[in-house]
């Protein structure tokens, strides 16, 4: 029997940064996001010995170790090894891991991979876990045990799937799944343009700067985070009402506040790409993830999408075709 799982990557419209500690514990945060049909996959084929063999297309490597070894999790493949170690796996297996998008995409790649690993291992071991338990365990492994900087939204988005307004409180997370009419979903999708900027991201450095600024109560950063929370709620309301051009304009305002969170969120090349998009008709947009590169989301008038796509392509971007995902993380068995 082979055990498989997949989890979707996400587009974060607004609120990213308010989910990064210590801000949610201090003020509370919220994000608005949707998952898309780009996935992380994990397959587990049990062995009869104690060898764990991991083939990761994303990392371009094959890793082999004995389940009886004391794993040094502070290594290049710590995320993969430590997730397996967390479940106290004492039997061998072949793990095959791959994703539809590369690391550093701004689509929540690393957290989605952890969620997928947890889903596959839980299926293998016959464990029943709630969506909240899976998301929180992924957060604990990545952020607390391994100390990788970042927030909570990616884990919850990957597990739940679909359109979600997620609230981050001092001691809990609440996922509010949004019910949006199918025709409104189609119309909304028709206005979106997703572009791979082909720019390298350094999210850990960006997030470290934001965390440090929050810890010393930096006025500019704290004000920007507060504005992002307000705009996230406004975006949610515009989305639910189908007021999409208002949505696009709010997206543009939110991007201006996002850039205030830390140096390196944008760059001259990214700014030129975004301004070219707006010059050719884009209403609003933003870089996805912590910033610095990755994917750029644009909200466009339907009759100008092709013009805007050509404009950003001239600046080195590649248009990515996608649809929405509503399943979230799923696991299954294959004979």
Q: Are residues 170 and 218 in the same domain?
A: no
Q: Within 10 A of 113 (CB to CB), how many other CB atoms are there?
A: 28
Written as tens digits, the pLDDT of the chain (335 aa) is 999 999 999 999 999 999 999 999 999 999 999 999 999 999 999 999 988 898 988 766 777 877 776 655 455 577 888 888 889 888 899 999 999 987 778 888 889 999 999 999 999 999 999 999 999 999 999 998 888 888 999 999 999 999 999 999 999 999 999 999 999 999 999 999 999 998 866 677 788 888 898 999 999 999 999 999 999 999 999 999 999 999 999 999 999 999 999 888 888 999 999 999 999 999 999 999 877 788 999 999 999 999 999 999 999 999 999 999 999 999 999 98
DSSP-derived 3-state class of residue 47? coil
Q: Is 271 a catalytic residue?
A: no
- d(C-alpha 288, C-alpha 245), whole Å: 20
The verdict on residue 333 lying in a domain is: no
Phi first, then psi, for residue 281 (nearest 5°) are 120, -5
**Residues near 45 by beta carbon (within 8 Å), at least 6 away in sequence:** 2, 93, 94, 96
Q: Are residues 136 and 247 in the same domain?
A: no
Show the domain range for 278: 182-324
For Cα atoms 138, 262, 197, give the angle at the middle one, nearest 5 degrees.
75
Q: What is the pTM of this model?
A: 0.93
Structure tokens belonging to residue 130: 């709630």
Q: Could you say which DSSP state residue 140 is in?
A: I
Residue 263, class by beta-carbon neighbours within 10 Å (0-12 exposed, 13-18 middle, 19+ buried)? middle
pLDDT one-digit tens code per residue, 33-82: 999 999 999 999 999 998 889 898 876 677 787 777 665 545 557 788 88
- How far does Cα 136 stand from its chain's mean position? 15
Q: Are residues 93 and 144 in the same domain?
A: yes
Q: Are residues 170 and 199 in the same domain?
A: no
Phi first, then psi, for residue 175 (nearest 5°) are -100, 115
No. of H helices and E strands in the chain? 11, 13
Q: How many domains does the chain have?
A: 2
The verdict on residue 330 lying in a domain is: no
Q: Are residues 38 and 7 in the same domain?
A: yes
Check residue 250 and give its pLDDT. 98
The region, left, alpha or beta by phi > 0 then psi within -120 to 50, assigned to residue 292 is left
Check residue 72 and give its pLDDT. 52
Q: Are residues 106 and 232 in the same domain?
A: no
Q: Are residues 230 and 245 in the same domain?
A: yes
Check residue 181 and give its pLDDT. 93
Check residue 255 and give its pLDDT. 96
The CATH number of the domain holding residue 211 is 3.30.70.890
DSSP-derived 3-state class of residue 197? coil
CB environment 247-258: b (16+ within 10 A), e (fewer): bbbbbbbbbebb
Check residue 310 and give its pLDDT. 97
The verdict on residue 163 lying in a domain is: yes
State how far the alpha carbon of 68 is from the alpha carbons of 47, 49, 90, in Å. 14, 11, 7
Q: Are residues 137 and 209 in the same domain?
A: no
List the beta strands (DSSP E) in the chain: 2-14, 29-46, 51-56, 61-66, 93-99, 163-168, 173-177, 192-196, 284-287, 295-299, 318-320, 324-325, 330-334
Q: Could you say which DSSP state residue 241 is in?
A: H
Quickly tell me which residue has 């994000």 as its tokens: 31
Catalytic site residue from 19, 154, 196, 325: 154
List the beta strands (DSSP E) in 136-177: 163-168, 173-177
- d(C-alpha 15, C-alpha 157), whole Å: 13
Structure tokens belonging to residue 45: 């084929």
The CATH number of the domain holding residue 62 is 3.30.230.10
Q: Are residues 150 and 238 in the same domain?
A: no
């Amino acid at each position: 029997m082979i055990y498989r799982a997949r989890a979707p990557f996400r587009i974060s419209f607004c609120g990213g940064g308010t989910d990064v500690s210590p801000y949610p514990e201090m003020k509370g945060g919220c994000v608005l996001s949707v998952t898309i049909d780009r996935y992380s996959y994990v397959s587990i084929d049990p062995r009869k010995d104690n060898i764990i063999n991991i083939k990761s297309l994303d990392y371009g490597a094959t890793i082999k170790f004995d389940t009886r070894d004391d794993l040094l999790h502070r290594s290049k493949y710590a995320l993969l090894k430590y997730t397996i170690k967390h479940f106290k796996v004492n039997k061998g297996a072949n793990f095959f891991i791959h994703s539809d998008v590369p690391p550093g995409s701004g689509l929540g790649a690393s957290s989605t991979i952890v969620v997928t690993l947890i889903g596959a291992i839980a299926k293998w071991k016959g464990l029943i876990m709630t969506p909240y338990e899976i998301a929180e365990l992924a957060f604990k492994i990545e952020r607390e045990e391994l100390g990788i900087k970042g927030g909570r939204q990616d884990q919850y988005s990957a597990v739940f799937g679909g359109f979600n307004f997620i609230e981050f409180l001092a001691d809990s997370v609440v996922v509010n799944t949004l019910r949006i009419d199918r025709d409104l979903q189609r119309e909304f999708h028709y206005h979106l343009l997703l572009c791979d900027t082909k720019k390298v991201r350094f999210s850990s450095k960006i997030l470290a700067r934001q965390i440090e600024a929050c810890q010393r109560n930096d006025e500019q950063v704290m004000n920007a985070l507060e504005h992002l929370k307000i705009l996230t709620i406004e975006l949610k309301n515009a989305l639910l009402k189908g007021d999409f051009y208002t949505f696009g304009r709010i997206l543009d305002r939110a991007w201006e506040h996002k850039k205030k969170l830390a140096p390196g969120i944008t760059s001259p090349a990214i700014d030129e790409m975004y301004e070219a998009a707006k010059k050719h008709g884009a209403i609003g947009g933003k870089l996805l993830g912590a910033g610095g590169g990755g994917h750029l989301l644009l909200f466009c008038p339907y009759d100008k999408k092709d013009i805007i796509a050509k404009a950003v392509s001239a600046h080195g971007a590649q248009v990515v075709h996608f649809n929405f995902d509503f399943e979230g993380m799923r696991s299954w068995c294959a004979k």
